[in-house]
Amino acid sequence: MEVIIVPDPAAGGELIADAMADLLRRKPDALLGVATGSTPLPVYEALAAKVRTRDADASRARICQLDEYVGLPCGHPESYRSVVLREVVEPLGLDEEAFMGPDGAAEDVAAACLAYDRALAEAGGVDLQLLGIGTDGHIGFNEPCSSLASRTRIKTLTEQTRRDNARFFDDLDEVPHHVITQGIGTILDARHLVLLATGEAKADAVAQAVEGPLCALVPASALQLHPHATVVVDEAAASRLK
């Protein structure tokens, strides 16, 4: 695992956008796995800026989602489908056809999970998966004690994660209790994992993931199993690394 410490979130965004632009030069139709939440926004802004200035060509890129709330009505502005379309797909000038994600509004959620894992494999697998990290060490929405071999499935959010995500909703009661998330095993199938963590609130989770034992209590520690994992942290998030 490579750990890169950057001065601030914007520098992290720039560095990862550079890696994505390089990948797209080598493989123009690369499948980029994207996370939602606040942390990755500087990456998406930096990549879109490179596309505008023609320093990156994302015209054939494909985008896939890491996770999705269960039960939000179709088109809800905070569904992760809406967020990824708004923050990634549209700024890169891509069509919706370039984008895939799990169906959080499906009647048969278990079937939707299986279908998503299958679709990822049929698309050739994820080339670069961008990850954030929860304050409890989750990746995707694999909360502590998730199986390290898990595949895409429905998970219950912890109350801490619901509270962390309440800032995107008018009220804590509106935050769904369930999500579909790529499993840790699914995430580990990606060819390159890039985890970005910024801010003091992530410092403990980062230290445990990077320097602690491999452990289902800290799902992000599963990156230790991956042959090509890069952890990009700003100085605040790196502050508890030894």
Residues marked active site are found at 67, 136, 138, 143
Is the separation of the CB atoms in 136 and 158 below 8 Å? Answer: yes
Is residue 232 at the binding interface for ligand F6R, with CB under 6 A as the rule?
Answer: no
Is residue 87 at the binding interface for ligand F6R, with CB under 6 A as the rule?
Answer: no
Is residue 35 at the binding interface for ligand F6R, with CB under 6 A as the rule?
Answer: yes
Among 82, 79, 14, which Cα is nearest to 45's?
A: 14
Which of 5, 10, 18, 37 is in the footprint of ligand F6R by CB under 6 A?
Answer: 37
Is residue 66 at the binding interface for ligand F6R, with CB under 6 A as the rule?
Answer: yes
Residue nearest to ligand F6R (CB): 132
Q: Exposure of 111 by Cβ count < 10 A (0-12 exposed, 13-18 middle, 19+ buried)?
A: exposed
Site for ligand F6R (CB under 6 A): how many residues? 13
Is residue 67 at the binding interface for ligand F6R, with CB under 6 A as the rule?
Answer: yes
Q: Exposure of 175 by Cβ count < 10 A (0-12 exposed, 13-18 middle, 19+ buried)?
A: buried
Binding track over 140-179 against ligand F6R, x by CB under 6 A:
x---------------------------------------
The Cα 134–Cα 223 span in angstroms is 14
Q: How far is the CB of 27 from ligand F6R (least distance, A)?
A: 23
Q: State the DSSP H helix or E strand holding residue 180, giving kind and residue range, or none if neither.
A: strand 178-181
Which of 13, 14, 36, 64 is in the footprint of ligand F6R by CB under 6 A?
Answer: 36
**Hey, which residues does 128 pair with through a beta bridge?**
32, 192
Question: Which residues, other chains included, contact 232 with Cβ-Cβ below 8 Å and sequence gap of 6+?
Answer: 4, 6, 12, 15, 16, 194, 195, 196, 197
Which of 6, 9, 31, 39 is in the footprint of ligand F6R by CB under 6 A?
Answer: 39
The Cα 207–Cα 239 span in angstroms is 8
Stretch that binds ligand F6R, among 8-16, 33-41, 44-52, 103-111 (CB under 6 A): 33-41
Q: Is 193 helix (H, G, I), strand (E, B) or coil?
A: strand
Q: How far is the CB of 228 from ligand F6R (least distance, A)?
A: 19
Stretch that binds ligand F6R, among 21-29, 32-40, 204-212, 223-231 (CB under 6 A): 32-40
Q: How far is the CB of 100 from ligand F6R (least distance, A)?
A: 15
Query: For the chain, what's the residue count?
Result: 242
Phi-psi group of 70: left, alpha or beta (phi > 0 → left; psi -120 to 50 → alpha; rest → beta): beta
DSSP state for residue 89 in the 8-state scheme: I
The Cα 221–Cα 207 span in angstroms is 9
Stretch that binds ligand F6R, among 3-11, 110-118, 130-138, 150-158 (CB under 6 A): 130-138
Contacts to ligand F6R by CB under 6 A? 35-39, 66-67, 132-134, 138-140
